[in-house]
A and B are shown apart, each in its own frame.
Chain A
Amino acid sequence: MSFLRVNHNNIKNKKKLIPRDINIKKSTSLKLYKFAKKLRIVEERLAKEYHPANEMRCPVHFCIGQEAVPAVLSLVLSKKDFLFSHHRSHGYYLSKKSPLKKLVAELYGKKNGANGGLAGSQDISYNKNNFYSGAILAGSIGIAVGNAMAQKIDNKNGITVVGFGESACDVGLFWESINYAFLKKLPILFICENNNYSVFSPQNKRQAGGEIFEKVKIFGRYSEKVFGNNICSLYKKINNILKSIRKKSHPFFLEVLTYRFSSHYGPQNDIGIGYRTNKEVNFWKEYCPVTMLENKLIKKNFINSNTIELINKKFSKDISEAINYSKKSNFSKKLNIYNLNYNSITDYKKEIVKVDKNVKTSIASKKKIIGY
């Protein structure tokens, strides 16, 4: 029996089927470790600052426990690739090499945030690096499919990656997207981070008929499931998938079994709600992606307690600086809100379109319309 039969329902009884992480090049594994560690430190620190200070006033969904996918993406995507993320966006944002200071300033709603404080955590984007996120679950999946269509048309080796949770697979648009991506062989990687819960509601209360990756497989052969907390294995898997997508242009659906230690939203412990047990959380903490990789690297003598200490210090300093920078930053003074929409008359001076503009708009009244 293989890992493909393991899911959130049975994993506690099928420990033996959880694969061990593989060994990869030292430099690559160190890069992965540093990213995952940084993300963990950033998120834990942000969670501490979030409440009760209440200076970051926007819904924040922390990704503590789900560092593996962003860590991998940070090494395999290039600037021309587009990345679309769910509301648990911080890891994805950083994986696209977007600046940490601008992320934190955005959470504080400040002028120099990634989006001037207009988007907040769950809607953050970094246009320059082709990174976008959003909170209405499956919406970004459809957007990503369109982006992949444009990548295919442009034919410049760019690809599209979209990350989402298994809850997005409840939505009709997800299945429309899968169908069309496979129909048109679009260069897109769908990464489904299956953490079992839509807020509190587990997958088996919401979805019928077996594993998601198997259902997707009906549309085309490129669909797999992996254990998501072995960062090096995940790196090798995703790296190979992206190489294949770039070469042959096809979609790929990758279901990644993982778990969030943080509550759905915010920093508080959510055991009291009763939807999951301490036992379950502790089980998954044994398989924490960051700790497992750290232990592995120690064992291989790639790092030791001194280097870990240095790494911790550096990232703690980075996030402290980003928080101080954000607290000191200003809010936008003016609410320039109408100029940000298109609900205004076109400014022709700014338009660069090679069309004839010398048409009198009153012609319509002079030309008789036949039909009435």
Chain B
Amino acid sequence: MKKNILTYAQSIKEALQQSMRLDKDVYVIGQLVNYSPGVFGTTTGLVDEFKSIRVQDFPVAESLMTSMSIGMALKKKKIVLVHHRIDFMLYSMDAIVNWISLWRLKSNSQSNLPITIRAIVGKGWGQGPQHSKSFHSWFANLPGIRVAIPSSPFDVKGLLIESIFSNSPTVIIEHRSLFDNVQEVPSRMYRIPFGKASILKKGKSLSIISIGYLSQLALKISEDFLKKYNIDIEVIDLRTISPLDKKAIIKSSLKTRKVLILDPSWQSFGASAEIFSLIYENSNTKKILVKRLGYPDSHTPASSYLENKFYLNEKKIKNVIFKFLNFKKNK
């Protein structure tokens, strides 16, 4: 049988297509979703199969778009909203924060909102400060909203299908830099539960707990360390940060006693601080060393030269690991 090798973008499209075929109440709404480029290929062709009523282009009115999804969900529609950049989605903060996140609670669990918000985060090639912010920790801070940051074609398909059929409001943060990565993906439908991290590589000497695209970078780095220095690093991709797989984080930390947290966002007041405190609160008086790496607490420069200095990269992360392990390369 032919292998189903898909890019991250194609995997999203396959998830949407299969979900829409399975359930006529699944709707995809967003600016330009029914044009041939299809939001970086993630919605290309859907309109031909499901017509423009189920694949709806939308005016530049993000606030209304998100509010509308609530009203549609009340009539049993399962809505997938698409934002080319998460930065534009901020117009819909009222709908997300004041309405969606607390809707079920204030109805005393009588009313559910099956809403999935796909928000894309740009990186590289001069995206600049208004196209590159990743607000996963903002949304994870909010009760009642689930947050996923899938790092592979496999994960994005399973988490997207899970969100669509879960009856829960979800924000899926997609890092644009992952869209061309390829992987073999099951051609059938499957769901990945929220709150279950994926152990990308087992190891004993150090745990890397990472989020989003940095998980794939961490995997590469850990493979290098094993090959070159025979150091086995454990890599945990959180996949979802709300809910958070606390068990996996604690278990790995207690095992290796050395943890590096990688968070693709500003370091202060973010997800890395949350993970950091989780580890310490559960350290059982054992000594565990924790370090974290995120972005500087400032905005992304557009210039590609300066941009490289801003983001985390292989070299920066490796240097931190060397120091962390007291390891001298020339030994």
Contact = CB atoms under 8 A, between A and B. Distances in A.
A8 to B, nearest CB: 28
A172 B186 contact: no
A97 B190 CA distance: 43
Interface residues of A, number: 65
Contacts of B183: 364, 367-370
Contacts of B185: 367
B104 A342 contact: yes
Given A180-B61, A370-B182, A362 B198 contact: yes
Contacts of B242: 343
Nearest to B142: A343
Contact of A371 (B143, B181, B190, B193): B181
A100 interface: no
Contact of A146 (B72, B143, B144, B155): B72
B274 interface: no
A116 interface: yes
Interface string A357-370: 11101111101111
A346 B190 contact: no
A355 B193 CA distance: 13
A147 B190 CA distance: 30
Contact of A345 (B105, B190, B195): B195
B68 interface: yes
B186 A359 contact: yes
B181 A340 contact: no
Interface string B150-185: 001111001001100111111000000010111111
Contacts of B105: 118, 337, 340-341
A179 interface: yes
A245 interface: no
A176 B64 contact: yes
Contacts, number: 209
Contacts of A128: 110
Contact of B107 (A127, A342, A369): A127
A364 B199 CA distance: 9
A127 B67 CA distance: 18
Interface in A321-364: 337, 339-346, 348, 351, 353-359, 361-364
Interface string B69-83: 111111101000000
Given A82-B74, A359-B190, A142 B106 contact: no
Q: Which 9 A-B pairs have the closest CB atoms?
A: A142-B67, A146-B71, A146-B68, A371-B181, A147-B71, A150-B75, A342-B168, A359-B190, A116-B108
Interface of B: 22, 53, 59, 61, 63-64, 66-75, 77, 94-95, 98-99, 104-111, 143-146, 152-155, 158, 161-162, 165-170, 178, 180-186, 188-196, 198-201, 216-217, 219-220, 237, 242-243
Given A143-B70, A176-B59, A340-B108, 18 more contacts: A127-B111, A139-B67, A139-B94, A142-B68, A142-B95, A144-B71, A150-B77, A342-B104, A342-B144, A343-B146, A343-B243, A346-B194, A355-B190, A361-B193, A363-B186, A365-B199, A369-B152, A372-B181
